[in-house]
Amino acid sequence: MRDTRRARATIVDIAARAGVSKSTVSLVLRNSPLARQQTAERVRDAMRELGYVYNRGAANLRRARSNVVGVVVSDIVNPFFAELAVGLENAFLAAGYLPILVNTGEDRERQARVIQALREQAVAGLVVSAADRTEAAAIKSLAASGLPVTLAMRDLPGSGLPYVGQDNLEGARVATRHLLSLGHARIAFLAGSSSIATHRERVDGYRRALAEVGVAFDPSLVIEAPPMRESGEQVVARALALPAPPRAALCFNDLTAIAAMSALQRRGLRPGADFAIVGFDDIEEGAHVDPPLTTVSMQTDDLARTAARVLVELIEGGAPPAAPIYGVARLVVRGSCGAAAARR
Amino acid sequence: MRDTRRARATIVDIAARAGVSKSTVSLVLRNSPLARQQTAERVRDAMRELGYVYNRGAANLRRARSNVVGVVVSDIVNPFFAELAVGLENAFLAAGYLPILVNTGEDRERQARVIQALREQAVAGLVVSAADRTEAAAIKSLAASGLPVTLAMRDLPGSGLPYVGQDNLEGARVATRHLLSLGHARIAFLAGSSSIATHRERVDGYRRALAEVGVAFDPSLVIEAPPMRESGEQVVARALALPAPPRAALCFNDLTAIAAMSALQRRGLRPGADFAIVGFDDIEEGAHVDPPLTTVSMQTDDLARTAARVLVELIEGGAPPAAPIYGVARLVVRGSCGAAAARR
DNA sequence: CTGAAAGCGCTTACAG
DNA sequence: CTGAAAGCGCTTACAG
């Protein structure tokens, strides 16, 4: 088996075969007009015949640059981050960079290890959607070493690093206002953990909307739980067990919103009719449940493209954006969404 | 901003600072016992002081080896493949390789492009879960060039490449037998497309189970549709519109099974009671719907670990496995799952 | 337009 | 144990 393995052809082999020097081959490789048309043709034939594959690592070493960027994602199994990753990947590929996607699974230690591995691989830059509880200092020191870093979706307040992400505060505010406009006053905030900045920002927006209409904030209505489908049962149980149970909730994301809907249904409560639910993070799940879920949409694709662009500019010597870049939070109203629930 | 960017320290800088030659630094880097304890300490101090980062690309160039492997996945947004990717990533990291994860989104042209990019990056090997309709020849020629390649989850019959994946045929057989044992004779196979080998293998298993009990195969019961949640409505509508509508179905995967359940419910049919559903690809979704979904479990994690091990062995000069490696298909029965439906 | 030489950051024999 | 030299596959001035 091993015997079939040929050593890779190099530009020297190509040069020999085409009867030119290796400088000429290099010129042809980079489509320089300095090589004669006919010579270029001969060189390209030789490459084809020898099955030549460009060694980008060698080229990068010599040129002291790199065409690879790192994309560090906190939880690739979450379709929200998977879509972010895909968007980033597309944008980088289109810009001529090869993205290395690594998943940290919300594990800070693992995050540190993979980032180190990426640095050793001499990546040109990093976009990171930081793991839960990541300390700003950890990433900041990275950037201090001169490596271009852009934060996506998870801000690290105080790090001073360029950030591209959702407008969590505004999104939660819009969603909460929607529920308030339906006539709800006791509105729960279900699932998610305050250890994640995203959660804190959303709770802030929720509080702000309440404050704007003079509704007192009740901390017992903010019920934390891991943002997974499995948490639906638990958060609904706790919400309904409150002395004055809410009839409306803003959920940390769409997965937990759907899980909460199921938990309500298991109790004979009809989402929409008996209990209003709004979810975050539109990964187009909201439209496919019954009844449809009203969500705050975050345009992952746009944000991914933007984050990639910001990093590429940083890599190519541009200035970082002066302020965080926020995606527009858009409320997608689906179904009746609980006007009736408020009247009960 | 740019000014803070220091050029990376090299082993020459370390050598100068520690007062040794660069060979010595290299020895220390690789923890060779040839360097004196005290010298190693001095070298390590210098590295710390200079913020040294190992340049693995340069080392790889010199050693004519590579520590990076490519993981080509057909659809990272599908949680099934996301879990596969995570499993592979963990296994490679543990084995000392840096996996570059790329998503093809089932696009063969894109697959060709990213594979080329990975080759130029001089990856040590590739595990590929091929895009829909990938031709065996395309991947085979890759391997013929000497690059170790392992196929995961999507076999390319005729390629002769090592394959690690689910036992689709056996899984479909087991699932179909289960439905038959409940008393169903007309059983639909819903969603998925015969352009994917996975689908063909599952349909084969379904047919075999029918044949085993002497039930004639009815091609009109195999209803194709993209394996997405969105297809649920369509496949259920087509199944119920058949002259003799089935009361049981094996679904291509759990997403489509859950979608089919929703579509049934929208028609007032109770999954389990009125219509038996079994799904493929247990990504632990089956347990979290109501009623719970019976699934064929495929142990993605084990398979990922195995695929990674097979590739690492190939890279390190071992022989490819003599035969395809199949994961065990296990039927996870949840809920009543349609015994009643058969009696209607 | 083409070629010879130097060098990117490492590792690897090979002397000392 | 340590150092000087060569070389991995490229690119980059610099001559011709």
How far is the C-alpha of B297 from the C-alpha of B41, rounded, in Å?
A: 52
Residue A86 exposed, middle or buried by CB count within 10 Å (0-12, 13-18, 19+): buried
Please report which residue ranges of A162-231 form alpha helices under DSSP H. Answer: 168-181, 197-212
Residues of A in contact with B79 (CB under 8 A): 77, 79, 82
The confidence score (pLDDT) of residue A4 equals 33
Q: Min CA distance, A76 vs chain B (Å)?
A: 6
Least CB–CB distance from B117: residue in A82, A98, A229: A98
Instruction: Calculate the CA B19 to chain-centre distance.
Output: 50
Q: Are A132 and A106 in contact (CB under 8 A)?
A: yes
Query: What are the DSSP calls for B92-152, one per residue?
Result: HHHTT-EEEEEE-TT-HHHHHHHHHHHHHTT-SEEEE---TT--HHHHHHHHHTT--EEEE
Which residues of A spanning 60-119 put their CB closer than 7 angstroms to strand C? 61-62, 64
Q: Are A147 and A311 in contact (CB under 8 A)?
A: no
Q: Are B164 and B325 in contact (CB under 8 A)?
A: yes
Work out if A55's Cβ lies within 7 angstroms of strand D: yes
- Rounded alpha-carbon distances, angstroms, from residue B21 to A102, B57, B228: 36, 21, 60
Q: pLDDT (tens digit, 9 = 90+) per residue, A230-287?
A: 899 999 999 999 999 999 999 999 889 999 998 998 898 999 889 999 998 877 777 7
The confidence score (pLDDT) of residue B35 equals 83
Q: Are A125 and A167 in contact (CB under 8 A)?
A: no
What are the residue ranges in chain B where pLDDT is below 50? Answer: 1-5
The confidence score (pLDDT) of residue B1 equals 29
Report the relative pairing of strands B222-223 and B248-251 from DSSP bridges: unpaired
Distance B30 CA to C16 C1' (A): 23
Distance B21 CA to D4 C1' (A): 9
Would you tell me which residues 171-210 of chain A have a C-beta closer than 8 angstroms to some C-beta of chain B?
none
How far is the C-alpha of B22 from the C-alpha of B28, rounded, in Å?
A: 10
- Six token digits for residue B329: 């298909």
DSSP-derived secondary structure letter, A266: H
Q: Are A296 and A329 in contact (CB under 8 A)?
A: yes
What are the residue ranges in chain A where pLDDT is below 50? Answer: 1-5
Amino acid B167 reads D
Q: Nucleotides on strand D with an atom closer than 7 A to protein CB? A: 1-5, 7-14
Which pTM value belongs to this model? 0.89
Least CB–CB distance from A121: residue in B57, B83, B145: B57
Work out if B61's Cβ lies within 7 angstroms of strand D: yes
Which residues are CB-neighbours of B191 under 8 A, at least 6 positions away?
B223, B224, B225, B226, B227, B231, B232, B235, B251, B252, B253, B256, B259, B260
Residues of B in contact with A57 (CB under 8 A): 57, 60-61, 121-122
How far is the C-alpha of B318 from the C-alpha of B311, rounded, in Å?
A: 9
Q: What Rg value do the Cα atoms of chain B yield, rounded? A: 26
**Stretch (H or E) spanning A291:** none
How far is the C-alpha of B17 from the C-alpha of A125, rounded, in Å?
A: 28
Q: Which of B3, B17, B98 is CA-nearest to residue B51?
A: B17
Q: pLDDT (tens digit, 9 = 90+) per residue, A94-134?
A: 999 999 999 999 999 999 999 999 999 999 999 999 999 99
Q: Min CA distance, A210 vs chain B (Å)?
A: 33
How far is the C-alpha of B165 from the C-alpha of B196, rounded, in Å?
A: 14
- Residue to test with chain B: of A69, A80, A111, A121, most B Cβ within 10 A: A121
Q: What is the nearest nucleotide to A26, using C1' and CA?
A: D11
Report the relative pairing of strands A163-166 and A149-152 from DSSP bridges: parallel
The confidence score (pLDDT) of residue A1 equals 28
Q: Is A96 left (phi over 0), alpha (psi -120 to 50) or beta?
A: left
Which residues are CB-neighbours of A71 under 8 A, at least 6 positions away?
A85, A88, A89, A92, A99, A100, A101, A102, A126, A127, A128
Distance A62 CA to C7 C1' (A): 8
Work out if A22's Cβ lies within 7 angstroms of strand D: yes
Distance A12 CA to D9 C1' (A): 9
